Amino acid sequence: MRIVTQFGFDAKKFIAWADGLKAAGVDLPVHLGVAGPAKITTLIKYAAMCGVGNSISFLKKNAMSLTALATSHSPEDVVGPIEKHFLANPDSAIKQIHVFPFGGLKKSAEWLVERGSWDMNSSAAVSARAAS
C-alpha cells in the first residue's frame, strides 16, 4: 500500500505533510502529485475541476509568481525542493513524485528528460514514444 496525492504547488507544505504522517506513525510510502509544465490558465482549470482548493489559493496568494508564470508553469520549484529533501533524508516518507501532464504528455516527457529524471532509452520510455 502507498499514499498517493492529487497535485499541489507548495513543496514546503508537501514535505511538512509527509513528515507529519511519518511522525504520527503512518509508515506508508508517499507519492506526491505535481502538475507538469502547463499554462497557468490550464492549471487553474484543472485545480477547479479536481476540487483542489488549496492549489488555487496558493496560486492566487502568489500573484507575483502568476505574472512570471503568465505563459507557462514549470514544476521545478515544487520538484526541486522535494528532491533535495528526499536526498538529504532517505528515510523520508516521500518515495516518489508523479507528474500530471496537464500541459500534454510530450511537454511533460520533455521536461522530465531535460532535468534528467527520465531515461528515454528505458523500455517504458520507448513504449511511451511508440504509443504517441
132 has pLDDT over 60: no
Residues 15-42: tens digit of each pLDDT: 999 999 999 999 999 999 998 998 877 7
Q: Kindly list the domain boundaries of the chain, sorted by start residue.
A: 3-103
- Would strands 94-100 and 30-35 be described as parallel, antiparallel, or unpaired? parallel
* Closest to 6 (Cα-Cα) out of 65, 48, 61, 69: 48
* Single-letter residue type at 22: K
**Sorting pLDDT into bands at 50, 70 and 90, what band is 10?**
confident
pTM of the predicted protein model: 0.73
DSSP notation for the chain: --EEEEEES-HHHHHHHHHHHHHTT----EEEEEE-SB-HHHHHHHHHHHT-HHHHHHHHHTHHHHHHTSS-B-THHHHHHHHHHHHH-TTSSEEEEEEE-TT-HHHHHHHHHHTTSS-TTSHHHHHHHHH-
As a whole number, mean pLDDT of residues 44-66 equals: 64
